[in-house]
Amino acid sequence: MGSLFRSEKVTLCQLFLQSEAAYNCVSELGEIGLVQFRDLNPDVNAFQRKFVNEVRRCDEMERKLRFLEKEIKKDEIPMLDTGDNPEAPQPREMIDLEATFEKLENEMKEVNANAEALKRNFLELTELKHILRKTQVFFEEAASNGPMTEESVNLLSDEGLTQGGQQALRLGFVAGVILRERIPAFERMLWRACRGNVFLRRAEIEIPLEDPVTGDQVNKSVFIIFFQGEQLKQRVKKICEGFRATLYPCPETQAERREMAIGVMTRIEDLNTVLSQTQDHRHRVLVAAAKNIKVWFNKVRKIKAIYHTLNMFNLDVTQKCLISECWCPVDDLDRIQAALRRGTERSGSSVPSILNRMTTKQEPPTYNKTNKLTGAFQGLIDAYGVATYREVNPAPFAIITFPFLFAIMFGDTGHGIIMFLFGLWMVVKEKSLGASKSDNEIWNTFFGGRYLIMMMGLFSIYTGLIYNDIFSKSMNIFGSSWNADIAYPGDMGNNVEKLMLAKTYRLNPNSTNWSKEPYPFGMDPVRLGAMSQSTFGL
Amino acid sequence: MNSVNFNINFGYLEGLCRGFKGGILKQTDYINLVQCEILEDLKLHLQSTDYGSFLANEPSPLSVSVIDDKLKEKLVIEFQHMRIHSVEPLSTFLDFITYGYMIDNIILLITGTLHQRDIRELIPKCHPLGSFEQMEAIHIANTPAELYNAVLVDTPLAPYFMDCISEQDLDEMNIEIIRNTLYKAYLEDFYKFCSTIGGSTTEVMCEALAFEADRRAFIITINSFGTELTKDDRAKLYPRCGKLHPDGLAKLAQADEYEQVKVVADYYGEYKPLFDGAGTGPGEKTLEDRFFEKEVKIMMSAFMQQFHFGVFYAYLKLKEQECRNIIWISECVAQKHKAKIDSYIPIF
């Protein structure tokens, strides 16, 4: 813990990288994560920097990957996450990746378009089937209410007679399907616009249908409107269009309807098979993509990060090398040099990269080397404020004082044991629990502080024993040092009968009549007998 | 409705609104935006503002209409979030704001139907904040009376139709008259509603609505020169809730040319500087631009007070101005014609 006492010594370095080697060197430096770069172009706009085109290409790739991810999630295919760390690919591999994503995206778009067209067809056929079924009922009712319809027809024909001769008047009709929510407004508008001269019957479709565009389940109803005359027909059609009701041709006679129904059923069967095949194909494409998608995301993010870093570099006058300034910890300069060498070798460049230490009056950033145990405590301290450079770091003290102060306030052995076991379980199962990468914020907070919780539990057990508090009860291991003989002078202390009858009894702490040996460890268990435990106990 | 009890029901939404207002683009953002060469640069810069990655899922190449749609979508989402979470009387207030957009949508649909356009083409062009259930069935109406009886009687705009049912047929000229009559009735109703709320809301909103009324009076007058609109008809279109009522409006009704309008404006301290120096020359701002500037100033001062509903109205207007600015800059960038790119109205 010697190094945790103060923050690490950090120095300012200048980095000279040859242009070809720059990408690989930054990649290696990124992998070891020991360097903080300074932005040498602070007043340049985001879109005027040198590598802005590459960043844009990465943005495009990320967009395509997000689209694919959304499709994969829609189909609920599990995405494989092995947790390994793929290396940033070379710049020339970026073109291959772009081509792959482009191909996948186009394929998905095509499949989606096909599926949508098929689903639309399917929806139409299903709606038609429901219409044929329901209108059956309407026409039957109209036929059975023979006298009534005769009457209404007669009324109309009277008008007709007065206007233009003896013509048999027939009611025209349109049938269609509309969203259930729109029916009240639809009816009202029909009534108003046609001045009550149309007759609407409707019936609900029980099963929800799938909307082809959004994929949601919607409830619809079948309606049939009877009217007379061409003008009303036009008006009714316009209103239907306005409310997005789809109209279907419905034959008048029962025989024709039955024939149509059979035809529709066979077409639905055929469509079902085609639809399931399309879905299978889509599923296969997505499963293949799902295997690699996490790895691709990581790779693209690394490329983007490298180019963001390169954007902070300064281009030398000779245009041959990139210069950057960075903060490095002094103790790790060897590792950084090794990383630079690796990067230069991988890029195949002949000119080595140069790391040059500079002296500066500026204050370096605070860098604390932590491991998984100390990391949680360092995070706790940093939440209150990051220490300045080379100041004494409160974290190593906090490792003991924080759990101890917590335990003083917690102070219950029983609950302390539970807490300790919980922390111990998380620590022992660290690897498997850490790999599952949950999204739950509360769980992640607990898991991040597993060592903290374990220590808090441990200290709580100790303070709980001192307070003699286990699940809010006391343990009587050594026998209490108080007894009922210790009484106030003149009190009923020695009178056993009176003692039995008394409701409360006050022990005199100043009495000389006691066992002369206090309870060996912790609080005396007599506190449990007290009426008000809070004033007596603590 | 006083400052003590305001926060119980409206504190969250006012805080949210002020947070949105804090994300309005600043002068430095505009300076960066005018330096863009292509639309992708604009997208890159907007990523670092409150807009974030709103264009992230749009395939390149971008077009100005896509940017326009997305800007509007973001604004609509914010406004509807606030509307859904509000209680009376804030919900009525926010509904009143949407009636203006409803009027615009109705007029758009009627005009489109007159020109034989398919209703499905027109629906996407409507403003999403002003959509209502019966909107899509507007095309069945041929006269205002039918329009009222069939479509609009159930909407909240029904009472505003009292004055325009007398018109016989829907044609070009009459549609504009209908629009302005509706808007006049709406504005006066809104003004009355704000007066009943009391407190700072009345102060702030009545000033804003008075300016809006006067602006409309001036614009109607200037636009009606050279058309068949008679002076009496014109006088009926002026909203009466502004500072110009009654004397200024009477004088405006008599005006025949731009100079006379300017003379009327000279009587009013707030409007005189707007007309001075306004023109269509190269270095001058147009009158519309000056009106926009004054509107921005009034809206900004609305945020100086707390515990009132005016912040919601002001926020919407400022965001709309910002959208107009961004679209103007995008158009200049897209067409590579940067001569007038600085004609946006700076807000901060």
Is residue B163 scored above 70 in pLDDT? no
End-to-end Cα, chain B, rounded Å: 30
Q: Which residues of A touch B149 (CB under 8 A)?
A: 192-193
Averaged pLDDT score across all residues of chain B: 87
What pLDDT is recorded for position A3?
73
Once rounded to an integer, what is the mean pLDDT over residues B294-321? 93
Compute the distance between CA of residue A494 and CA of residue A511 in angstroms, rounded to an integer. 14
Q: Which residues of B touch A54 (CB under 8 A)?
A: none
What pLDDT is recorded for position A538?
45
What pLDDT is recorded for position A305?
92
Token digits of residue A535: 């004033």
Q: Which residues of B touch A67 (CB under 8 A)?
A: 57
pLDDT band at B176 (very low <50, low <70, confident <90, very high): confident
Token digits of residue A156: 């109309």
- Amino acid, single-letter form, for residue A442: I
Report the share of chain A in percent with pLDDT over 90: 29
pLDDT band at A167 (very low <50, low <70, confident <90, very high): very low
Compute the distance between CA of residue A176 and CA of residue A187 in angstroms, rounded to an integer. 14
Q: Measure in Å the smallest separation between the Cα of A43 and chain B Cα atoms.
A: 11
Residue A239: closest C-alpha in chain B: B137
Is residue B121 scored above 80 in pLDDT? yes
| Most A-contacting residue of B133, B135, B329 (CB-CB within 10 A), to test interface | B133
pLDDT band at A496 (very low <50, low <70, confident <90, very high): low
Q: Cβ B139–A235 below 8 Å, yes or no?
A: no
Residue A237: closest C-alpha in chain B: B140
Across B45-77, b (16+ Cβ under 10 Å) vs e yields bbeeeebeebbeeeeeebebebbbebbbebbee
Q: Measure in Å the smallest separation between the Cα of B248 and chain A Cα atoms.
A: 42
What pLDDT is recorded for position A514?
67
Q: Cβ B139–A238 below 8 Å, yes or no?
A: yes
Compute the distance between CA of residue A457 and CA of residue A451 in angstroms, rounded to an integer. 10
Q: Is B146 helix (H, G, I), strand (E, B) or coil?
A: helix
Is residue A152 scored above 60 in pLDDT? no
Q: Cβ A47–B151 below 8 Å, yes or no?
A: no
Q: Which residues of B touch A52 (CB under 8 A)?
A: 44
What pLDDT is recorded for position A151?
43
Report the share of chain B in percent with pLDDT over 90: 40
Q: Which residues of A touch B44 (CB under 8 A)?
A: 46-47, 52, 56
Given a contact cutoff of 8 angstroms between Cβ atoms, the answer to whether B236 and B334 are in contact is no
What pLDDT is recorded for position A482?
73
Residues of B near A (Cβ–Cβ under 8 Å) read: 32, 35-37, 40-41, 44-45, 47-48, 56-57, 59-60, 119, 133-134, 136-140, 146, 149-151, 153-154
Across A500-515, b (16+ Cβ under 10 Å) vs e yields eeeeeeebeeeeeebe
Q: Cβ B137–A66 below 8 Å, yes or no?
A: no
Q: Which residues of B touch A43 (CB under 8 A)?
A: none
Once rounded to an integer, what is the mean pLDDT over residues A304-311? 91
- Outline where A6-51 has alpha helix (H): 19-32
Given a contact cutoff of 8 angstroms between Cβ atoms, the answer to whether A35 and A26 are in contact is no
pLDDT band at A149 (very low <50, low <70, confident <90, very high): very low
Averaged pLDDT score across all residues of chain A: 84
pLDDT band at B168 (very low <50, low <70, confident <90, very high): low
Is residue B144 scored above 80 in pLDDT? no
Q: Which residues of A touch B138 (CB under 8 A)?
A: 242
Cis peptide before B246 (omega within 30 of 0): yes
- Amino acid, single-letter form, for residue A355: L
Token digits of residue A216: 């949601």
pLDDT band at A154 (very low <50, low <70, confident <90, very high): very low
Q: Measure in Å the smallest separation between the Cα of A60 and chain B Cα atoms.
A: 8
Q: Measure in Å the smallest separation between the Cα of A113 and chain B Cα atoms.
A: 17
What does the CA dihedral B8, B14, B19, B25 come to, rounded to 10 degrees?
Answer: 180
Write the pLDDT tens digit of every residue in A341-381. Answer: 999 998 888 888 888 899 989 999 999 888 888 888 898 89
Phi, psi angles (nearest 5°) of residue B334: -65, -35
If one compares A487 and B162, the residue with the highest pLDDT of the two is B162
DSSP assignment of A95-143 equals: HHHHHHHHHHHHHHHHHHHHHHHHHHHHHHHHHHHHHHHHHHHHHHHHH
Q: Measure in Å the smallest separation between the Cα of A242 and chain B Cα atoms.
A: 4
What pLDDT is recorded for position B170?
65
Q: Which residues contact B207 (CB under 8 A, 6 or more apart)?
A: B298
What pLDDT is recorded for position A250?
81
Most confidently predicted of B61-70, B151-160, B283-292: B61-70
- Outline where chain B has alpha helix (H): 3-22, 27-34, 39-46, 64-84, 90-114, 119-122, 144-146, 172-197, 199-224, 231-236, 247-254, 258-266, 272-275, 287-302, 310-334
Given a contact cutoff of 8 angstroms between Cβ atoms, the answer to whether A411 and A467 are in contact is yes
What pLDDT is recorded for position B304?
92
Is residue A256 scored above 80 in pLDDT? yes
Q: Cβ B154–A185 below 8 Å, yes or no?
A: yes
Once rounded to an integer, what is the mean pLDDT over residues A223-235? 87
Q: Which residues of B touch A244 (CB under 8 A)?
A: 136
Write the pLDDT tens digit of every residue in B250-269. Answer: 988 888 888 899 898 998 88
Once rounded to an integer, what is the mean pLDDT over residues A470-477? 85
What pLDDT is recorded for position B319?
94
Q: Cβ B60–A60 below 8 Å, yes or no?
A: yes
Which residue, among B4, B3, B21, B18, has the nearest Cα to B348 in the 3D structure? B21
Q: Measure in Å the smallest separation between the Cα of A222 and chain B Cα atoms.
A: 19
User: What's the Cα-to-Cα distance from A400 to each of A397, A406, A456, A481, rounded to whole Å?
Assistant: 6, 10, 9, 34
Write the pLDDT tens digit of every residue in B17-28. Answer: 999 999 999 999
Given a contact cutoff of 8 angstroms between Cβ atoms, the answer to whether A395 and A377 are in contact is yes
Q: Which residues contact A77 (CB under 8 A, 6 or more apart)?
A: A283, A286, A287, A290
Given a contact cutoff of 8 angstroms between Cβ atoms, the answer to whether B241 and B188 are in contact is yes
Residue A241: closest C-alpha in chain B: B137
Report which DSSP code applies to B285.
P
- Specify the pTM: 0.79
Once rounded to an integer, what is the mean pLDDT over residues B6-25? 93
What pLDDT is recorded for position A205?
87
How many CA atoms lie less than 13 Å away from A206 in the CB half-sphere?
2
Across B205-240, b (16+ Cβ under 10 Å) vs e yields bbbbbbbbbbbbbbebbeebeeeebeeeebbebbbe
Q: Is B48 helix (H, G, I), strand (E, B) or coil?
A: coil
Report which DSSP code applies to B279.
S
| Most B-contacting residue of A241, A246, A307 (CB-CB within 10 A), to test interface | A241
Q: Which residues of B touch A193 (CB under 8 A)?
A: 140, 146, 149-150
Token digits of residue B97: 């704001």
What pLDDT is recorded for position B281?
66
Once rounded to an integer, what is the mean pLDDT over residues B194-199? 90
| Most B-contacting residue of A198, A239, A308 (CB-CB within 10 A), to test interface | A239
Is residue B328 scored above 90 in pLDDT? yes
Residue A49: closest C-alpha in chain B: B41
Is residue B298 scored above 80 in pLDDT? yes
Given a contact cutoff of 8 angstroms between Cβ atoms, the answer to whether A243 and A182 are in contact is yes
Write the pLDDT tens digit of every residue in B221-249. Answer: 988 888 888 888 888 889 999 998 888 88
The sign of the CA dihedral A466, A470, A475, A481 is: positive
pLDDT band at B81 (very low <50, low <70, confident <90, very high): very high
Is the ipTM above a cut-off of 0.85? no
Comparing CB atoms, the residue among B57, B136, B140 nearest residue A63 is B57
